[in-house]
Structure 1
Amino acid sequence: MTLPRGPLVAVFLALLPGMGRAADIDGATLSLLWGLPFAGILLSIALLPLFAPIFWHHHFGKVAAAWALAFLLPFALCFGPAAAGTSLVHAALAEYIPFVLLLTALFTVAGGIYVRGNLHGSPGLNTAILAIGAVLASFMGTTGASMLMIRPLLRANDNRKHVAHVVVFFIFIVSNAGGSLTPLGDPPLFLGFLNGIDFFWTARHILPETLFLVGALLLIFFALDTWFYHRREELLPADPTPDDRAIGFDGKANFALLGLVVALVLLSGIWKSPLSWHIAGAQVGLPGLVRDLGLVLVTLLSLRITPAQVHADNRFGWAPMQEVAKLFAGIFLTIIPVIAMLRAGIDGPFGAIVAAVTRPDGQPDPAMYFWASGLLSSFLDNAPTYLVFFNIAGGDPAVLMTRLAPTLAAISAGAVFMGANSYIGNAPNLMVKAIAEDRGVKMPGFFAYMLWAGAILVPLFIAMTFIWFR
């Protein structure tokens, strides 16, 4: 995904001649020490909210910026300002800015739709909301479905003592597993679509795995939520949301804008245009330019046409989006050397990972691809991780969709499903957590959430390995 360049970027590039030649980083020559800033920002996200919550709340943006500079400044000293500038501009234009534009559009449009009336968070209703969200996720993206469904779900459960488990399963199902059937659902699958994978290939090849995972999670959730629901003093004496309005939707015009977001993303993958520009190694094509400008217009239009009362009812605010934008700015920069080392394959510092996904006869091992792509997607951005293993497996879409179909299915399932293993595995995870905490829900910390994932998701992934990826 790409974004048009502005005049400031053009001036910056003019001051750094030769940047395009410096764009490539040979990961085979890098030391594992270059991964320390990335490890640092991950540990900061994990530990500081737990041990220094007030400091983190006020300074998480500064912490993310500090780790980004901890990579960028030494990199500029070792490889020159041209290489550092290239890496910065490429990460911004080709990855980060388009990523944030899409998330902002979905966040804004979904925040302009209010499900009025008071739903009562019984186990049956909560399970139904999670199931609906899972279906929506493959057609409007995990971010869009998460932003649309999390607010009514939280409001439905605002009279209950235990709500954190509801949000955790929401992240498992709606923010991750549900987006596995189309390229619109999750960024890794969209990258596969852009690289030649048929639009409906994933739906045809990992539908059984998706039904198994989502179905099992819904059953586990229903049993757990029923247990909580029937505990003494689970329901508050008074419901904070009175039954004063019929159930329905306010801000309905945003549904049309949501459809426009989907259309813009789909168009950018289908429309082929020879018109493109190259800046610092990043290719900016006309379809991407139209998509990104369209997303900006959708965001502004949604803010313009949404009644103020809808935003007030939704308690719409920018804090969750700001948190995701600042943290992922640091992640997108510090991840640069890590991805380069992975791309170096067997000759790079992570050569053991590449060797692990190949059988002694030289054929790919689907089970290892599933776990390797999944575990890395749990902590790295799952979109570039998908591309790394896509290319390790040969990178030929015709071969991957036919003879190596089990391998591509394993890569796709691992990248999408295991994004639920940590808060940073997929962008909606952090957004949902931030919204829930803004509503007063005491969410589990970074490691506590991973314990939930380890106890619930990992056994299901092991079962899937034996059933489909042997």
Structure 2
Amino acid sequence: MAVAAIGAPTGAWAADGLNGAALGGVWALPFVGMLLSIALFPLLAPHAWEHHQGKIAALWAALTAVPLALTAGTAPTAAALAHTALLDYIPFLLLLLALFTTAGGILIAGNIHGSPAMNALLLAIGAGLASLIGTTGASMVMIRPMIRANDDRKHNTHVFVFFIFLVSNLGGALTPLGDPPLFLGFLRGVDFFWTTTHLAHETLFAAGVVLAVFFVLDTVIYRKENRVPDPTPDRHVRVRGLVNLALIGVIILAILVSAGWKPGVAFTIFGVAVEWQGLLRDLVMVAVTIASMKLTKPVWREANGFSWGPIKEVAKLFAGIFVTMIPVLAMLQAGRDGAFAPLVALVTNADGSANNAAYFWLTGALSSFLDNAPTYLVFFQLAGGDAQALMTQGALTLAAISCGAVFMGANSYIGNAPNFMVYAIARDGGVKMPSFFGYMLWSGAVLIPTFLLVTWVFFRG
């Protein structure tokens, strides 16, 4: 039945891959179903999702791969799957694994008192860390010190809402290490430091506005409340597991080397040319992960609440996402000749130039409720998919896509992976976190005006 619905002629396959102009929009249904599953199942059927998310992801992947194999042949389909796995999925997952493992071995021990100035400083530090060890890593490192710092505050919900805004999202925009969408851009050819140089003003502006709002709000609340005695004993603040900082340096070095070193040697694996520098980078990620586990005391990971559950979930879900994206990216590559021509019109001005404000808000709107990594790739491809062109004459468009994907992941609990993790840890620590829609009232009041300012200052042209 699925084959009949999604069927396309064999001519949909060109010599160099999938011809997106020959595909109908129905080929996007598994991708949409995959993303809606991620967005809705944790809210509507959390128990079923927890136990069957891998099966659900596999179902959507099969609804893409099997019809492709039957309509285009097993060999071209296998080649497309191998290309996606070896050049996108595996490098993406190995970077997340290395960052997740090293960040989970860094423990900030001791007690800090959560005054407005100290809270703002912790949020600023966490936002800075997010671009070095990823938004997930920074959230893991900073969330428990933030809980201990504010456990004597009667009204502390806002602290953790702003934590999600700044540490789990906005802070991750300055390097490909910060947030998965940017690393996917790096894998597609965007220079490592392009994000640092081209997103710095937007990131500092947005984060600065949000941090300023937090400081004013926290100051008002702090002055009015009667604080209870601090339940956390005073101890000197110490950072454990510093060897992991050195290992994060190894990760950064490996990525920089892979971007700048071009020996011209490639290995053919399942018909896919894997360049030596990319293979070496991926092997370094594996080595760093093993070294972090060997060199970090288990008690420090236990104190951080470290477990392999989140990375296993990412591996399952992104396997489904990357497979279902194959025909979607091909259709986007077709531009005005493809099924997504109306979307092309939305992000294109009358004179044919890119509407950067539309790119920012459309990428952001989808990233608010769907996973921001595939959303980034969708609009990256919609803008032409040529990294060299986008980094130069299309720099403002690429900046709009990047900022939309990273910034607006903060608009809901499900917009970015660390958001719900912070929610769960904070609630477990006794914080009265807002509901799904309660959180969106916060993001609507704080973030939407901020993003309107970002649009007016940076993307209105």
TM-score (norm 2): 0.83
| Alpha-carbon distance in 2 for matches of 1:335, 1:444 | 33
1:299 is matched with which residue?
A: 289
**Equivalent of 1:242, from 224, 233, 237?**
233
2:44 is matched with which residue?
A: 51
| Alpha-carbon distance in 2 for matches of 1:354, 1:292 | 35
| Alpha-carbon distance in 2 for matches of 1:166, 1:325 | 31
Q: Check conservation: 1:184, 1:265, Cα contact below 8 A.
A: no
State percent identity of aligned pairs.
59
2:345 is matched with which residue?
A: 355
**Aligned pairs (5 A) from 1:109-188:** 109-158=102-151, 165-188=158-181
| Alpha-carbon distance in 2 for matches of 1:56, 1:120 | 38
**Secondary structure, aligned partner of 1:358:** coil
**Secondary structure, aligned partner of 2:405:** helix
**Aligned pairs (5 A) from 1:60-459:** 60-158=53-151, 165-190=158-183, 200-226=193-219, 239=231, 241-243=232-234, 245-279=235-269, 282-378=272-368, 382=372, 386=376, 389-390=379-380, 393=383, 400-401=390-391, 403-423=393-413, 425-429=415-419, 431-433=421-423, 435-436=425-426, 449-450=439-440, 452-459=442-449
Alignment gaps of 5+ in structure 1 = 1-19
- Classify 1:342/1:229 alpha carbon distance in 2 versus 1 (closer, same or farther; 3 Å): farther
**Secondary structure, aligned partner of 1:206:** helix
Whichever residue aligns with residue 131 of structure 2, its letter is: S
| Alpha-carbon distance in 1 for matches of 2:456, 2:411 | 20
Q: Check conservation: 1:341, 1:348, Cα contact below 8 A.
A: yes
- Classify 1:377/1:46 alpha carbon distance in 2 versus 1 (closer, same or farther; 3 Å): closer
Q: Following TM superposition, by how much is the alpha carbon of 1:264 offset from its aligned partner in structure 2, in angstroms?
A: 1.6
Q: Following TM superposition, by how much is the alpha carbon of 1:214 offset from its aligned partner in structure 2, in angstroms?
A: 0.2
Whichever residue aligns with residue 233 of structure 2, its letter is: P
- Is 2:29 aligned against 1:39? no
- CA shift digits 1:430-457 (9 cap, x unpaired): 5545655665667566666555444432
Q: Check conservation: 1:339, 1:385, Cα contact below 8 A.
A: no
| Alpha-carbon distance in 1 for matches of 2:156, 2:377 | 36
**Secondary structure, aligned partner of 1:363:** coil
**Secondary structure, aligned partner of 1:362:** coil
Q: Check conservation: 1:108, 1:303, Cα contact below 8 A.
A: yes
| Alpha-carbon distance in 1 for matches of 2:385, 2:38 | 33
**Secondary structure, aligned partner of 2:18:** coil
| Alpha-carbon distance in 1 for matches of 2:94, 2:158 | 30
| Alpha-carbon distance in 2 for matches of 1:320, 1:440 | 22
**Secondary structure, aligned partner of 2:17:** coil
| Alpha-carbon distance in 1 for matches of 2:420, 2:275 | 30
| Alpha-carbon distance in 2 for matches of 1:57, 1:101 | 23
- CA shift digits 1:219-243 (9 cap, x unpaired): 222344456656768x66662x432
Q: Following TM superposition, by how much is the alpha carbon of 1:155 offset from its aligned partner in structure 2, in angstroms?
A: 3.6
| Alpha-carbon distance in 1 for matches of 2:386, 2:373 | 17
**Secondary structure, aligned partner of 1:96:** helix
Q: Check conservation: 1:420, 1:429, Cα contact below 8 A.
A: yes
Q: Following TM superposition, by how much is the alpha carbon of 1:289 offset from its aligned partner in structure 2, in angstroms?
A: 1.1
- CA shift digits 1:20-73 (9 cap, x unpaired): 988722223333333323332333333333333333333333333333333333
- Classify 1:300/1:23 alpha carbon distance in 2 versus 1 (closer, same or farther; 3 Å): farther
Q: Following TM superposition, by how much is the alpha carbon of 1:157 offset from its aligned partner in structure 2, in angstroms?
A: 3.6
Aligned CA-pair RMSD: 3.4
**Secondary structure, aligned partner of 2:239:** strand
1:461 is matched with which residue?
A: 451
Count of aligned residue pairs for this structure pair: 448
Question: Larger deviation: 264-273 or 190-199?
Answer: 190-199
- Classify 1:328/1:184 alpha carbon distance in 2 versus 1 (closer, same or farther; 3 Å): closer
- Classify 1:105/1:68 alpha carbon distance in 2 versus 1 (closer, same or farther; 3 Å): same
Whichever residue aligns with residue 242 of structure 1, its letter is: P
- CA shift digits 1:176-227 (9 cap, x unpaired): 3223234443454455556665654444443332222001111222344456
| Alpha-carbon distance in 1 for matches of 2:85, 2:189 | 24
| Alpha-carbon distance in 2 for matches of 1:227, 1:262 | 40
**Secondary structure, aligned partner of 1:126:** helix
Question: Larger deviation: 52-61 or 301-310?
Answer: 52-61
TM-score (norm 1): 0.82
- CA shift digits 1:134-185 (9 cap, x unpaired): 2223344434433332332234344556665434422322233223234443
| Alpha-carbon distance in 1 for matches of 2:307, 2:355 | 46
Alignment gaps of 5+ in structure 2 = 1-12
- Classify 1:268/1:403 alpha carbon distance in 2 versus 1 (closer, same or farther; 3 Å): closer
Whichever residue aligns with residue 292 of structure 1, its letter is: D
